[in-house]
Chain A
Amino acid sequence: MENSKYLYVKVALFLVVIGSLFLFFKSKNEQHYKPIRVGILHAQTGTMAISEKSVIDATLMAIDELNSKGGILNRKIEPIVVDSRSDWNYASKMAEKLINEDKVSAVFGCWTSACRKTIKPVFEKYNHLLFYPVQYEGLESSPNIVYLGASPNQQIIPAVKWSFDHLGKKFFLVGSDYIFPRTANELIKKQIQELGGEIVGEEYIALGDSEVSFIVDKIKRVKPDVILNTINGDSNIHFFKGLKEANIDSSKIPVMSFSIAEDELRTLDMKNMAGHYAAWNYFQSVNTPHNLEFVKVFKERFGPDRVVDDPMEAAYSAVHIWAQSVRDAKTDLVGEVLKMLNKQSFNAPGGIISIDPENQHTWKIVRIGKIRSDEPQFDIVWSSEKPIRPNPFPMYKTNSQWESFLNSYYSMYDNNWSKPTSKEEDHIGVAS
């Protein structure tokens, strides 16, 4: 009797040993490997910090979402956040550090075109991967950059056409004196010319300049139907204030802005802004259950007074597009991930986005919004409904024509991608 008792114990022990061995090997297969590192290269200090900090938040939120679901390929994602100090030469150094020292698998970063253009050679040199979240002037296509923001045909061109159809045919162009407004206005002038519209004025002010009266005076004098605004930063406060003071409000001469989103709107005086327009791919007010959930999650995380805007949504989507590519490639090796990138589509808060296999820009829905009078939000007045194919090189010039155009500004800016400011020695990155 005693023997048989021991026999059962032995049999049970044997089974337990076998079972635990089995589980051990099984779990070994699913072992958690070291985390995948990604770089986040945005300005946390300097002029651009106010916009880019929000983009960092959106990026981190997407990473946390992935990690809370167990990461990718059973590996957690470890973000390494680096401050670009609003200085693209420094950003370039940091990009090298992220790639060579931190061995990141991808970098999410940059806001200004100047920044992007400066660090682009780094990514091409190391055949690495940069996700760029902001709309820009186009005329660029790098195999190492995924452009999540709008190309001109996804923002500027539809907005100009819409303005031409709905607001009037006499255009006045204002902008900051940088590569983006210059290029954008070059496109706009061409388009207006082709549409048969009239350009009654084109003025530029330096970054941060508050002296806008000469522009306002000119606007009063030439009486345009529409103002197309590519001014960036604080100058907008003075510009809209000047317009208001000159008694020019949205009902008289509406302004179509290309660099004012919800986040910027918060810093502006709402009574000066109501009724003006902006063109983007995404507004926080996009009324789909998917977007409402996204906004809710964001506010729960960062506070009810925070807003989401186009570059943030793009940055958020960029992380997911990258994660899908890693999943498809079954590795985080950049070369393999790059191969998978051009097959990706993602149901972003603003609608389905897809990476174009030809130019690595993003298929996106185009939207035009009208600023509400009571809150820093937009009413969507027009939408392309379907995602629009990105075309970074507008059709009315050939690629080589565009390149020589860009190079002429590059040399004009003293081999820089923005006009060196007279006040400061530093190169200051400016929105797109």
Chain B
Amino acid sequence: MRNLFDYFKNIREKNNFFVWISLVALVPLFFISYTSSKISEESLKKEVINNLSTVADEKVSLISLFLENCRKNIELFSHSPTLSDFIDASETKDHPNDKNSLEENNHYQRLSSYLSNVRDRQKYNDIMIVSNAGNVLFSLKNEKLIGRSVKKFAPDSTQLPIVFNNAITLLDTQVSDFEKTPSYTTPHFYMATPIFWEGSMKGALIFSIGNEEVSSIINSRIGLGDTGEVLIGKFDQGRIIPQINLRHISVEDFLSQSQNFDPRFLEAFKQAAVMASKGEGLMKDYRKHEVISAWQYLPAFGWGVLVKIDSNEAFHPISILKRNILLLCFSVLLLVFFAAYFVSKRFQKAEDTLTRMFADLKLARDQAMEADRTKSLFLANMSHELRTPLNAIIGYSEMLQEEAEEEGLPHFVEDLSRINGSGKHLLSLINDILDLSKIESGKMEIYLEEIDVKEMIDNVTSIIRPLIDSGSNKLKIDYQLKEPLWRTDVTKIRQCLLNLLSNANKFTHDGMIKLKIEQIEKDGLKFIQFDVIDTGIGMTTEQLSRLFQAFSQADASTTRKYGGTGLGLLITKNFCQLMGGEITVKSIPDKGTTFSMTIPLHIPEIEGSKIESIQHPLKSNSVNAIKLLIIDSEIKTHKNITENMKNGEFITRHAYNGLDGLALCKEETPDLIVLGVMMPKMDGWAVLEKLKEDPKLKDIKVVMTSLSSDDDIGMAMGATEVLSNPIQPVELIEKLKGHALGNSPKILIVEDDNATRDLIVRSLKKGNFQAMEAIDGQEAIEKISTVVPSLILLDLMMPKMDGFEVLNRLRANKDWCHIPVIIITAKDLTEDDRNRLESATAIFSKGKYHHRDLLEIVRKEIVSHSENANEDSEGDKNAKNIVS
């Protein structure tokens, strides 16, 4: 079966139309031919059998009719007065043989001539009259029998005594079996009937009848063709005993061969003669010829009748029919083959063309895909190659700017800020172009995550506010959402909002910019609508129509005046559409413009977009926050510190005297304590002393603020640092952060671009970190194997071994797998890339971050990581302490 299947598959693959067309045509053809020949064979067989059965019926009824005729004759004669007169006359005589009596002679002569007449007409062998006692009174054939008793006929005839006895016992006409006696050349049978006259039985009339009549009935072979015959006989002890001569061999030969007969033949005859049942079937006859036969019982003699004809003859028409069908089949076969050949040739031609076209198309498609891939690769490389140097430019200029400020070189500050601004502009241009190309090639993906809209708006506001301030504009936020949570692509929404807001700011001076956020319903669907309303210069209808085209602003002069890439709105529009939303604009010249961005509440999930939320570098993490306890009697100190903290960096607890502070300290076990000296109830020194006495609290770092510069006492008493009042809150916080980390942790920077690497190193050093450097993945792995860093900053695109591989190796090694890794890359990450970077802590895009943000994350990571490590190795704590 399997092989056959494979074979057909093979044919199919070769597109062998010829075979298929042939099969489709030939299978029904063969089916029909086979069925029709079977049907006609069956019907012919039935016809033959019917014919044979009819012959058998006819023979049986002819024999019955013949016997019935004989019976009527004998019964008719038995009532003849001549007979009774003769019997009466014979009985009165003592010696029936004595024919001297004239009267009796007369009777005898008259009877004799009468019965001779009957016998000759009916072709009987003999007519006998037997007295009640069984004495033969008259015999037409053999006068010697007269006077003999039929009961003593045994050697000459066994049937005569039986038939006589039956007739006078049953008082009815009786028929004997056939028998062969010396008197006659052919077998014969007797028919006996009682002779009644005037109500009394006088004797019996017996006919001896030859088998000629039965023979002629049986041997009349009408409808039996050249080989058919009727076999009639008894079935005795497993043998067929024919009663009439056979057509093909003599009865003696038949009997001598009867041991070798086909059992089916014997069984058929047995059924007819012994079971009196009808039937028909195929068998081998006594000549070993295959015959078809029908059989039944012959009640008149209690024999079987079997009519048969050679199968060859009977089924001759079938073989002719079969031959004709075969011939027809063969001719149709040839015809079909020819037709199939020509048709398949045409089909083949068409298919070849199709195949060629298909191959061409495939090639074209492959080429197009290749080109597309090349383009994507080009873009990716471009983005990397452009962003990396830009990153260095922006980073250095920022840092130099800070240093210049610190060293009081204002004219440098201005220049550096220009460099920085130009770099950022160039970067945003590049980013916009890359975004646009991604959108156009359909590669822009959506990452849905659950966000707090309020938080996002706050974030956007904090970013945009300096810009707005610089444009002498006022920003008003009208937040009307009831449900703060929204599943959306926060990056894109933020980018859109920043675009719109900066756009609004660009064309507005001394005006008002309003951001309105509300939930609306349109066509039964829920949307979140962001309206950015300004009171700027506005646009004419003609300007509006060109609004969302690439590199177009209201007009060329606008570009010159206001700058900008002209891509922002186009990208915004595309992002909106990508998220299933839209952006509309209404504007009145000189009055202002309103951009309405409508994004569905349930953003349709685009296939392939990863729903899992991804870590975002700026997302606050309260778990990582530093627990800070401030103990100081001066409320101003508390306020100073808390006001300068960023959200989520610290969790603060406040105590206003030493006792409360100590109690709170025991309760909460803070990471850091800012401790004032002058306090009621218990002063700072006492608190410090108590803290250092308590083994649970003695490791908590304490920063003391004191009016006097008695640093040494504080340090001697176990304070970590002593600052003198008035404290600089920013400085204090930086210090606090540094203290929270412990002793300057080692950070490994893996980056192939020297400028970028140096920039990061310098930035890290500022933040009290030790920097290790590696110029590619391979070197990084080597460095890690000697010194395990607390954190790794990893570039992705590097020679020898790239960032992905480094990450894989780290995660595969059980000693390194917990090291936090922050990715810093210029690569545009695909969905796949993000999946591969799942284990990275954060991802920074080159040029898009401020180095302070980076420091922030690094710090947080190290704090949370060291906490985790402590939890992990509770048992090792003591040992570590001893070493330290």
Asked whether A244 is an interface residue with its Cβ less than 8 Å from the other chain, the reply is: no
Most chain-A CB neighbours within 10 Å: which of B171, B173, B275, B297? Answer: B171
A352 vs B275: C-alpha distance when bound (angstroms): 7
Which A residue sits closest to B71, measured CB to CB? A389
Q: Which residues of A contact B57 (CB under 8 A)?
A: 343
Query: Chain A 123-163, CB within 8 Å of chain B: the 1/0 string?
Result: 00000000000000000000000000000010001100110
Contact flags B772-803 to A (C-beta < 8 A → 1, else 0): 00000000000000000000000000000000
Q: Which of A161, A194, A343, A387 contacts B302 (CB 8 A)?
A: A387
Nearest chain B residue, comparing its CB with the CB of A353? B276
Chain-B contact segment, one of A86-94, A201-209, A390-398: A390-398
Contact between B302 and A386, CB atoms less than 8 A apart: yes
- Determine whether A250 belongs to the interface, using a CB cutoff of 8 Å to chain B: no
Q: Are B172 and A153 in contact (CB under 8 A)?
A: yes
In the complex, whether A346 has a CB less than 8 A from a CB of chain B is: yes
* Interchain CB contact under 8 A, A395 and B199: no
Given contacts A157-B171, A394-B172, contact A345 B194 (CB under 8 A): no
Q: A8-B8, A395-B172 are in contact. Are A343 and B60 (CB under 8 A)?
A: yes
Residues of A within 8 A of B171 (CB): 153, 157, 161, 191, 194, 394-396
Contact of A357 among B64, B193, B302 (CB under 8 A): B64
Are the C-beta atoms of A347 and B199 separated by less than 8 Å? no
Instruction: For the complex, give the distance between the alpha carbons of A193 and B132 in Å.
Output: 13
B201 at the interface (CB under 8 A from A): yes
- Chain B CB within 8 A of A354 CB: yes
Chain A, 329-351, CB within 8 A of any chain B CB: 343, 345-347
- Determine whether the beta carbon of B299 is less than 8 Å from that of A396: no
Is B526 on the interface with A (CB-CB < 8 A)? no
Which residues on the A side are within 8 Å of B296 (C-beta)?
Answer: 345
A187: nearest chain-B partner, CB-CB: B171
Whether A396 contacts B297 in the complex (CB less than 8 A), given A354-B276, A386-B302, comes out as no
A63–B864 alpha-carbon span in the complex (Å): 97
Interfacial chain A residues near B8, Cβ < 8 Å: 8
Q: Number of residues in B with C-beta < 8 Å to the partner?
A: 35
Is A388 engaged at the interface, CB distance under 8 Å to the other chain? yes
A352-B170 in contact (CB<8A)? no
Q: Judging by beta carbons under 8 Å apart, are A352 and B302 in contact? A: yes
**Cβ contact within 8 Å between A388 and B299:** no
A363 within 8 A of B: yes
Q: Which residues does chain A contribute within 8 Å of B274, judged by CB atoms?
A: 347, 352
One of B172, B173, B277, B297 near A157 (C-beta < 8 A): B172
Question: Is B257 at the interface (CB under 8 A from chain A)?
Answer: no
Does A7 count as interface, using CB distance less than 8 angstroms?
yes
- Tell which of B68, B168, B170, B199 touches A388, judged by Cβ atoms closer than 8 Å: B170
Instruction: Report Cα–Cα, A353/B276, bound state, in Å.
Output: 8
A347 and B170 contact, CB distance less than 8 A: no
**B61 interface residue (CB < 8 Å to A):** yes
Within 8 Å CB of B275, what residues of A? 347, 352
Q: Mark B138-172, 1 if CB is under 8 A from A, else 0.
A: 00000000000000000000000000001011111
Instruction: Kindly supply a per-residue 1/0 record for chain B positions 258-282, scoring 1 wherever the CB is within 8 Å of any chain A CB and 0 otherwise.
Output: 0000000000000000111110000
Known: A190-B199, A386-B302. A345 touches B172 (CB 8 A): no
Chain B nearest Cβ from A323, distance in angstroms:
12
Digitize B156-197: 1 where CB-to-A-CB distance is under 8 Å, 0 elsewhere: 000000000010111111010000000000000000011010
Q: A4-B13, A343-B57, A347-B276 are in contact. Are A396 and B199 (CB under 8 A)?
A: yes
Residues of B within 8 A of A30 (CB): none
Q: Is A358 an interface residue (CB 8 A)?
A: yes
State the main secondary structure of chain B at its contact with A: mixed
Question: How many contacts between A and B, using CB within 8 angstroms?
Answer: 89
Would A343 and B61 count as touching, CB distance under 8 A? yes
A387 to B175, CA, bound (A): 11
Contact A161 B61 (CB under 8 A): no
Q: Cβ of A352: which chain B residues have Cβ within 8 Å of it?
A: 274-276, 297, 299, 302
| CB of B362 within 8 Å of the partner chain | no
The SS class assigned to the A binding surface is mixed
Minimum C-beta distance from B532 to chain A (A): 52
B93 on the interface (CB 8 Å rule)? no
Q: How far is the CA of A165 from the CA of B168 in the complex (A)?
A: 12
Q: Using Cβ atoms and an 8 Å threshold, which residues of chain B touch A358?
A: 68
Residues of B within 8 A of A386 (CB): 302
How far is the CB of A11 from the nearest CB of chain B, in Å?
9
Please provide the chain B residues from 1 to 57 with a CB less than 8 Å away from any CB of chain A in the complex.
5, 8-9, 12-13, 57
Closest to A195 in B: B201
Partner of B276, one of A165, A345, A391: A345
Assembled-state Cα–Cα distance A382/B475 (Å) = 137
Which residue of A has the minimal Cβ distance to B8?
A8
> Do B299 and A161 have beta carbons less than 8 Å apart?
no
Cβ–Cβ < 8 Å partners of A357 in chain B: 61, 64
Known contacts A157-B170, A345-B299, A354-B297; A395 and B276 CB within 8 A of each other: no
- Are A153 and B170 neighbours in the complex by a CB distance under 8 Å? yes
Q: Assess the B169–A194 pair: CB atoms within 8 A.
A: no
Instruction: Give per-residue flags for B113-140: 1 if the beta carbon is below 8 A from chain A beta carbons, else 0.
Output: 0000000000000000000000000000
Nearest to A388 among chain B residues (CB) is B170
C-alpha gap A7/B8 in the complex (Å): 11
B75 at the A interface (CB under 8 A): yes
A384 to B173, CA, bound (A): 14
For residue A345, which residues in chain B have a CB less than 8 angstroms away from its CB? 276-277, 296-297, 299
CA distance A195 to B171 in the complex (A): 10
B200 at the interface (CB under 8 A from A): yes
A58–B238 CA distance with the chains assembled, in angstroms = 32
Partner of B196, one of A4, A324, A388, A396: A396
Contact A387-B201, Cβ < 8 Å, known A8-B8, A153-B171, A191-B171: no
Q: Give Cα A345–Cα B276 distance, bound, in whole angstroms.
A: 6
> In the complex, A7 Cα to B5 Cα: how many Å?
12
Smallest distance from the beta carbon of A294 to chain B beta carbons, Å?
Answer: 14
Q: Is the CB of A389 within 8 A of B61?
A: no
In the assembled complex, the Cα of A389 lies from the Cα of B167 at a distance in Å of 11
Q: CA–CA, A4 to B278, complex, Å? A: 57
* Cα of A389 to Cα of B194 in the assembled complex, Å: 15
Interface residues of A in 50-78 (CB under 8 A from B): none
Q: Are B196 and A7 neighbours in the complex by a CB distance under 8 Å?
A: no
By the criterion CB–CB under 8 Å, are A4 and B169 in contact?
no
**Contact among A161, A347, A384, A389 for B277, CB-based, below 8 A:** A347
The residue in chain B whose Cβ has the minimal distance to the Cβ of A343 is B57
Q: Which residues of B contact A157 (CB under 8 A)?
A: 169-172
Write the nearest CB–CB distance from A430 to chain B, whole angstroms. Answer: 26
For A162, what are the chain B residues with a Cβ–Cβ distance below 8 Å? 169
Task: Give chain B nearest CB distance to A327 CB in angstroms.
Answer: 9
B169 contacts A161, C-beta separation under 8 Å: yes
Q: Cβ of B78: which chain A residues have Cβ within 8 Å of it? A: 395
CB-based nearest B residue for A190: B199
A346 and B68 contact, Cβ closer than 8 Å, known pairs A7-B12, A389-B172, A396-B199 = no
Contact status A194-B170, CB under 8 Å = no
Most chain A beta-carbon neighbours within 10 Å: one of B78, B169, B275: B169
Query: Nearest chain-B residue to A394 (Cβ)?
Result: B171
Residues of B contacting A366 in the complex (Cβ-Cβ under 8 angstroms): 170
List residues of chain B with CB within 8 A of the CB of A346. 276-277
What's the Cα separation between A424 and B12 when bound, in Å?
94
- B170 lies within 8 A of A158 (CB): yes
A/B interface sample: 13 pairs, CB < 8 A: A4-B9, A4-B12, A158-B169, A324-B278, A343-B57, A343-B61, A345-B296, A347-B275, A356-B299, A363-B299, A389-B173, A389-B175, A395-B75
Q: Name 11 extra pairs, CB < 8 A, besides A352-B274, A354-B276.
A: A153-B172, A157-B169, A157-B171, A343-B57, A345-B299, A346-B277, A347-B274, A352-B276, A352-B302, A356-B299, A357-B61
Binding site for B on A (CB under 8 A): 4, 7-8, 153, 157-158, 161-162, 165, 190-191, 193-195, 324, 328, 343, 345-347, 352-354, 356-358, 363, 366, 384, 386-389, 391, 394-396
Q: Lowest 9 CB-CB distances: which A-B pairs, in order? A: A354-B299, A345-B276, A352-B276, A194-B201, A345-B297, A161-B169, A347-B275, A4-B12, A153-B172
